[in-house]
A and B are shown apart, each in its own frame.
Chain A
């Protein structure tokens, strides 16, 4: 099986390692490729969109024609994980906690509303033990992380957290073959990547 990591910008190497380790733990053999061109999407059974800067990833994807190709592939059922910037990229509604509305290019595929930089600046970045739905407890690393505040349609929120200003927020979302996390599973655990590989096998 081939897994792909969108390799425009962000912590691509960490996702490649996480996929490899997850496959090893599941006892399956995989190859992980970097997705930089539309044709790369045809080869893969699952995709991770890494953490990074969502504005940069969006601008580059739009410029190189990858934005539409990605949207089509994911719509057609490619199991896709978006972490942090990747989650923002997948969401239908995006707002920034400092500057409000943003005009950044996004995929707009998941029925969730996201607030960027919801916890503050890097100084307020943190790690915490978190219950992520049926995936169990994970050590979750939040870096200038977004938060999910609303879901509709088929999307389902998980990993609830109490935010001092926003109140009840969520750090994970599931919608069919799409998974979004506000934190970075690639930095601390393989459970999310294992979940993606299991989705890909079906």
Chain B
């Protein structure tokens, strides 16, 4: 009896070794991964931080369907972010907010030519695997959705697709970059139409970088080392940030941007580009507003053009907005995942 079980086990073992051999042969023949060229390297760091670099001075817009995605593309967006619900509606709806419908994401991908992003819950490795598998261009590990892991974010080095993560200050940004984020955005307070938190986050980010840069110029390496230790971030990354005087990856503003003036303000504060969430499709004039925000982002340093952009929209049509002071602490999205 024992002998028979042993024989069966040996058969199973042989079967799996056989499978492994087939897999290796296919891999050698280049069948498992659709490489465009045999000698080409996909998913390299240069390629992963390269995409966000191409999005600079651009606007990425939240959309929930193909029609909205097409409006965004026509208005000059550099990308869209597909969600199940806009952050404003996530707030209203309550419950657990998850990754968008795969079918909707795929439909959007087949109708527009600009990059398509989608959000996954913080720590949800498998939502990210699914998005990579269907071919999403950029993954946002976002506090707007309900986090699934209170302790850990996704290990983003394991993916060929670049990730964007939110931050409220420099320590958080450095931790996300050390986990493999290719792009950083401010958390702001999504779905409020109130840009005040994004402003706070950008000032905190650049204030800390300026202090570190000053320390480096003064030769105070101890301060850099202490800061890195306190942040639980790699010293090399902290020192690089101090030397550059900015984060080593592209940094976008997000959270509450609702008008062209909001977008121009965030660019003036040092943002490389803009995410607009509920601000466009929760307004009465989404087409004009989308175009105007694109114009104000590209020409933020030209007041004449920002005025032109601001004239394209009416304050009466802007999204209503929520004052952050009226939100209960448990209703804040920005505190999720540190």
Binding site for B on A (CB under 8 A): 7-14, 36, 51-53, 55-56, 59-60, 63-64, 84-85, 96, 98-99, 102, 116-117, 119-129, 141-144, 161-164, 184, 187-188
Give CA–CA (A63, B305) in the complex, Å.
11
Q: Contacts A9-B57, A55-B73 known; A127 to B44 CB distance under 8 Å? A: yes
Instruction: Using CB atoms, name the residue of chain B closest to A7.
Output: B57
**Chain B min CB distance to A34 (Å):** 9
Q: How far is the CA of A159 from the CA of B280 in the complex (A)?
A: 42
Check B2 for interface membership: any CB of A closer than 8 A: no
Residues on the A chain within 8 Å of B135, using CB? 120-121, 123
Contact indicator A122/B113 (Cβ below 8 Å): no
Residues A127 and B47 in contact in the complex (CB < 8 Å), given A56-B78, A119-B36? yes
Q: B41 contacts A127, CB within 8 Å?
A: yes
Known: A120-B135, A126-B42. A143 touches B50 (CB 8 A): yes
What are the interface flags for B215-248 relative to A under an 8 Å C-beta threshold, 1 for contact and 0 otherwise? Answer: 0000000000000000000000000000000000
Pair A122/B58 contact, Cβ less than 8 Å: no
Known: A8-B298, A56-B77, A127-B44. A85 touches B54 (CB 8 A): yes
A59 touches B76 (CB 8 A): yes
Q: Is the interface of B mostly helix, strand, loop or mixed?
A: loop
CA distance A63 to B295 in the complex (A): 9
Enumerate chain A residues within 8 angstroms of B145, measured Cβ to Cβ. none
Give the size of the chain B interface in residues (CB under 8 angstroms).
48
Distance, CA A129 to CA B44, complexed state (A): 14
Which 6 pairs between the two chains have the least Cβ-Cβ distance?
A122-B137, A126-B40, A59-B76, A128-B40, A53-B78, A121-B135
Q: Closest B residue to A165 by CB, please name it.
A: B36
The contact string, 1 if C-beta is below 8 Å from chain A, for chain B 47-74, is: 1001101111110000000000000011
A-B contact pairs, 30 of them (CB 8 A): A8-B298, A10-B56, A10-B57, A11-B53, A12-B56, A13-B56, A36-B299, A53-B54, A53-B114, A55-B76, A56-B58, A59-B75, A59-B76, A60-B294, A60-B298, A84-B54, A119-B36, A120-B135, A123-B43, A124-B42, A126-B41, A127-B40, A127-B44, A141-B47, A141-B50, A143-B47, A144-B54, A144-B137, A162-B37, A163-B36
> Residues of A contacting B162 with CB < 8 Å?
122
Contacts of A117 in B (CB 8 A): 113
Are B46 and A188 interface neighbours, CB within 8 A?
A: yes
CB pair B115 A122 closer than 8 Å: yes
| CB-contact partner of A12 in B37, B57, B77, B305, under 8 A | B57
- Contact of A161 with B37 in the complex, beta carbons under 8 Å: yes
Q: How far is the CB of B254 from chain A (nearest CB, A)?
A: 18
CA distance in complex: A64, B36 (Å): 38
Bits for B189-202, please: 1 = Cβ < 8 Å to A, else 0: 00000000000000
Residues on A with beta carbons closer than 8 Å to the beta carbon of B136: 121
| B35: A residues at CB distance < 8 A | 124, 126
Q: How far is the CA of A5 from the CA of B19 in the complex (A)?
A: 54
Q: A64 CA to B34 CA in the complex, in Å?
A: 41
Find the residue from B34, B44, B47 having the highest chain A CB count within 10 A. B47
Provide the residues of chain A in CB contact with B114, threshold 8 Å. 53, 55-56
List the A side residues contacting B44 at CB < 8 Å: 126-127
